[in-house]
Amino acid sequence: MILIIIEISHNYNKNLWKHKEFFIINFIVFKNISKIATIYDYAIAKLRNYFFYKNANMIFFRFNYLELIKMKKYTD
């Protein structure tokens, strides 16, 4: 199991500050961790199931590759 930290920015106003919240999402991914793009797409797919907004453009997903490097791996 892998812990991946995803940063979700809620852009309420284009000219004002961005309210950022950090969510820790743990889920099982493929054993081949070298495919970063696959993990990214999988994480986005999981996050879209948890958050629903009328305007999808208000949500910006940015994957933090430094957190991916520092992520903790757990093997069963």
Note whether residue 74 is domain-resident.
Answer: no
Note whether residue 46 is domain-resident.
Answer: yes
Note whether residue 49 is domain-resident.
Answer: yes
Higher per-residue confidence, 34 vs 9: 34
> Which structure tokens are listed for 40?
């990214």
Note whether residue 76 is domain-resident.
Answer: no
Q: pLDDT digit string (tens) for 40-71?
A: 666 666 666 555 443 333 333 333 444 444 44
Q: Measured between alpha carbons, how far is 2 from 21 in angstroms, rounded to an integer? A: 20
Note whether residue 75 is domain-resident.
Answer: no
Q: pLDDT digit string (tens) for 1-20?
A: 344 444 444 444 444 444 44
Contact criterion met (CB below 8 Å) for 37 and 25:
no
Q: Measured between alpha carbons, how far is 47 from 26 in angstroms, rounded to an integer? A: 11
Boundaries of domain holding 55: 2-69
Amino acid symbol at 75: T
- Residue 44: the pLDDT is 63
Sign of CA dihedral 40, 75, 50, 13: negative
Q: How many structural domains compose the chain?
A: 1
Q: Phi, psi (5° rounding) for residue 52?
A: -125, 125
